[in-house]
Structure 1
Amino acid sequence: MEKSSRQTGAVLARFDRYVLSQLFVLFGFFSLVLVSVYWINRAVILFDRLIADGQPASVFLEFTALSLPNVVRMVLPMSAFAASVYVTNRLASESELVVMQATGYSPWRLARPVVIFGLIVGTFMMVLTQYLVPTSLEQLRFRENEISGTLSAKLLREGEFMNPSEGVTFYIREITPEGVLKDVFLSDRRNADRATTYSSVDGFLVNEPTGPKLVVVNGIAQALNTETRKLTKTKFTDFAYNISDLIDAPGALFKPLDQRSTAELYFATDLVSKATAQTPGRILEEVHGRFNQPILCVVAALIGFSTLLVGGFSRFGVGRQIIGAILLLVLVKLVESIVTDPIRANANLWPLVYAQSVFGLGVSILMLRLAARPRRRRKDASLSEARA
């Protein structure tokens, strides 16, 4: 008897390792595909902007590397779900799940490798949400501010109307290899009572200790008094315009919520609320969301497994179960959207952040109970026949 139980335990241990290996192989594949899709989408825009600003390829690679942790964070639950669905479907279609269930093991026992898989993925997600993503986003924003704060990124673009600051429009038709700006147009409408437009044949950007200046030659300045509707024209041979206030400062003191550490958000909620103009509820939503996302990895894997397990073996496939699993994920996301506004309005409702995970785990448990019920019925029926 002991020998038989040991053999059965060894078979199940090998089955667990087999399922885990299949899950991680498919998880890696789906993660690679989804990350590539997200990355290509962002890389096209990023590449166009950085190359247009004259930045080297090394900057593009740096920005790509800094944006990857956040992209990986977004795709992990979807990859875990897709891997769970695919592996469960293959095990069911090849009758491997049927064989394991025929040995007398319940869906709860068969779900063990899926739970282990979800916990491992959730651990990786925890590292991302607690450290890698905030750190990478903070560094990415710092580098973006450094680049966007340069004159070349803000103003030196040929044939494009730019708005470096609110109420200001700037245009250059051409920039010569010598750095001469051809056909310069500058419209300053920041003063509500007076709108001024400068246009010139040539221009230069000059860096001075007091700040960068735009020097334009052979041009005309037109000032419109918006109250009297009087237009004044002035011709000039050369004119210097201070543009330092058109270039935004990097703003290193301001950090959005997703770039702050969890400890800072949790233990200095009031200070962060004043610094970011966000409600305490929004801050606590961010904090607990970082703990909730790893749980969602377990939920996604369990929903994919338990929903397909309910249908059992069928010659017609498990298409309906797969659609049902996708709909359940949509419902989980819907729960998140329902509780978002109440949490942000009232910080005391922060436990609702975990509502979607509780809902997803509840659905998974219900599905596993339904999957176990038919087997019990068959077992009870066979015992009744034996007694008769």
Structure 2
Amino acid sequence: MSKFDRYMLSQFLILFSFFALILVAIFWINRAVILFDRLIGDGQTALVFLEFTVLGLPKLITTVFPIAAFAGSVYVINRMTSESELTVLQATGSGPWRLARPVFVYGICVAVMLSVLTHFLVPMAKAQLTQREAEISQNVSARLLTEGEFLHPSSKVTFYTRLIGTDGVLRDVFLSDRRNPEEGMIYSASEAYLVRNGDGTTLIMVDGLAQRLSSETNQLSTAKFRDFSFDISALVSNSTEEYTSVDSMVTPALFTDWTALGERVDITQGTIAEEFHARFAAPLFCIVAAMIGYATLILGGFSRFGVWREIVIAFGLLIAIDGIRGTLEGVVRSDPSRWPLVYLPSLIGLILVLAMIWQTAHPGWLRRLRRAKVAA
């Protein structure tokens, strides 16, 4: 690699790092606000919020990598064009194919980094995140210790407490249990306590009222109680079985019989095929994104008014190709034999890049073709 190639590659990587950092920060703040409100509102600590944030970063980074690769390519080419660096290079004999070499190497570097994320880091983080979510969902106390809000530990159970005292006493408790289709139960009490009982959790209600509504006779029965214990362990699944999903498995683990894998994780082969091939297609799309930024701007040439029109066109092409990629996901999931469609957006982008670079290298081919037709 020549000195000029190393110079351009260093500029690309520096700007890529800058744009990736900015985009990750923007997306992270947007998601962190929602995550913070949900976790802290459920009674979790700041350390849990920090853990969930770190585990969600690999997936977030994979989202911004193609955009950052495109932005870095466009910024460097635009700056070198406005400062006439590319004009000087072209005047000394460096054609568009020669200038595309450092851009292609830059795209490969980004693709390698994204490959490490998609094949290993993202699935590992997803698996750890799923495990932590399961552990938190089993913590009944954390899900019920939220005052002034109607909570739903399960689909047919509603819990409410007006106030939680400093001594841990729950004031003015309301509990609706509709799990039995033949009757509905409503419990209300002035005070309640959460008591750990081995692996289970019991809600002790004091000075309350129990109401039972029979769905057959449509009769309401009430009974006052001085103290009443209600086992709430069943409200949240306490299963400790390891949950496995395709997106939480590293890529080497997917080199197996997809039929057996689909039966084991209860998922279609189309979903497995889409997940597997998408991990290889995503890094290729980063190369295409970087090359689109270069090819579109180099096709526009030098202009004292700038290359903003070419930048808009390049961004539009990137959005259109990425839109095609999102559309084809459902097609592959419905029919796993159509997995080559996952690579179609990158192929379309590659064809556009080659066509634009060839047009830049042969600017007058259409005019010469018309003259040849007239002369004939």
**TM-score w.r.t. structure 1 length?**
0.90
Q: Where do 1:252-263 residues align within 5 Å?
A: 252-263=241-252
Distance 2:366 2:272 in 1: 50
CA RMSD of aligned residues (A): 1.9
Q: Partners of 2:279 and 2:199 in 1: how far apart?
A: 45
Q: Which moved more, 1:289-298 or 1:206-215?
A: 206-215
2:106 aligned to which of 101, 109, 117:
117
Return closer, same or farther for 1:374/1:343 CA change in 2, 3 Å cut-off: same
Deviation at 1:375, TM superposition (A): 7.2
* Selected match of 1:327 from 316, 324, 343: 316
Helix, strand or coil for the counterpart of 1:240? Answer: strand
Q: Does residue 253 of structure 2 align to residue 264 of structure 1?
A: yes
The structural deviation recorded for 1:377 is 8.8
Please point out which of 367, 370, 383 is paired with 2:356: 367
In 1: Cα distance, 2:12 partner to 2:50 partner:
31
Is 2:140 the partner of 1:151? yes
**Partner of residue 140 from structure 1, selected from 125, 129, 144:** 129
Q: Which residue is equivalent to 1:93?
A: 82
CA distance in 2, matches of 1:71, 1:227: 52
Residue 255 of structure 1, CA deviation: 2.2
Task: Report SS of the residue matched to 2:147.
Answer: coil
Contact 2:43 2:145 in 1 (8 A): no
Quickly say closer, same or farther: Cα 1:276–1:41, change in 2 above 3 A: same
1:247 corresponding residue in structure 2: 236
Q: Provide closer, same or farther for how the CA distance between residues 110 and 252 of structure 1 changes in structure 2, counting only shifts above 3 A.
A: farther
SS of structure 1 residue aligned to 2:363: helix
CA, structure 1 residues 183+29, in 2 after alignment: closer, same or farther (shift >3 Å)? same
- Seen in structure 2, the aligned counterparts of structure 1 residues 210 and 28 have a Cα distance that, compared at 3 Å, is closer
Pair 249,38 (structure 1): closer, same or farther in 2 beyond 3 Å: farther
Structure 1 equivalent of residue 373 of structure 2: none
Is it true that 1:36 corresponds to 2:25 in the alignment?
A: yes
Question: Which residue number in structure 2 is paired with residue 209 of structure 1?
Answer: 198
CA shift in 2, pair 1:375/1:23, >3 Å:
farther
Matched-pair contact (CA < 8 Å) for 2:288–2:350: yes
Q: Are the equivalent residues in 1 in contact too, given 2:284–2:346 (CA < 8 A)?
A: yes
Q: Distance in 1 between matches of 2:103 and 2:45?
A: 45
Whether the aligned pair in 1 keeps the contact of 2:171 and 2:192 (CA below 8 Å) is: yes
Whether the aligned pair in 1 keeps the contact of 2:296 and 2:313 (CA below 8 Å) is yes
Aligned to 2:3: 14
> Structure 1: how far apart are the matches of 2:94 and 2:51?
51
**Which residue of 285, 291, 294 maps to 1:305?**
294
The separation in 2 between residues aligned to 1:149 and 1:158, in whole angstroms, is 19
Alignment match, 1:358? 347
Moved more, 165-174 or 45-54: 45-54
Residue identity opposite 2:350 in structure 1: L
1:178-222 C-alpha deviation (Å, 9 max, x unpaired)? 111111100111222211111000001111136211110111111
- Are 2:339 and 1:345 equivalent residues in the alignment? no
1:298 CA displacement: 0.5
- Tell me, in whole angstroms, the C-alpha distance in 1 between the residues paired with 2:118 and 2:240: 24
Question: What is the CA–CA distance in structure 2 between the aligned matches of 1:73 and 1:317, rounded to whole Å?
Answer: 31
Aligned partners of 2:42 and 2:155: how far apart in 1? Answer: 21
| Superposed displacement of residue 278, structure 1 | 1.9
Q: How many residues align?
A: 368
Q: Could you tell me how far 1:294 is from its partner in structure 2?
A: 0.9
AA in 1 matched with 2:197: E
CA contact (8 A) 1:78 1:300 kept: yes
Aligned partners of 1:191, 1:376: CA distance in 2, in Å?
A: 79
Asked whether the 8 Å contact 1:265–1:284 carries over to 2, the reply is: no
Contact in 2 for aligned 1:200/1:220 (Cα 8 Å): yes
Judge conservation of contact 1:53–1:152 (CA < 8 Å) in 2: no
Match of 2:372 in 1: none
Distance in 1 separating the partners of 2:250 and 2:300: 44
Amino acid at match of 1:370: Q
For residues 206-260 of structure 1, the C-alpha deviation after alignment (integer angstroms, 9 at most, x for no partner) is: 1113621111011111111223221111111111111111023366422222111
- SS of structure 1 residue aligned to 2:162: strand
In the alignment, structure 1 residue 279 sits paired with structure 2 residue 268:
yes
Residues 114 and 302, structure 1, Cα contact 8 Å, conserved in 2: yes
Other-structure match for 1:81: 70
Gaps of 5+ in 1: 1-11, 381-388
Distance 2:63 2:246 in 1: 17
Contact 2:35 2:49 in 1 (8 A): yes
Query: Which of 103, 118, 127 in structure 2 is aligned with 1:129?
Result: 118
DSSP 3-state at the match of 1:199: strand
- Report the Cα distance in structure 2 between the residues aligned to 1:265 and 1:52, rounded to whole angstroms: 37
**1:80–1:210 CA distance, 2 compared to 1 (3 A):** closer
| Segments ≥4 residues shifted beyond 4 Å | 375-378
Question: Which residues of structure 2 form unaligned runs of 5+?
Answer: 369-376
SS in 2 for 1:220: strand
Q: Which moved more, 1:322-331 or 1:75-84?
A: 322-331
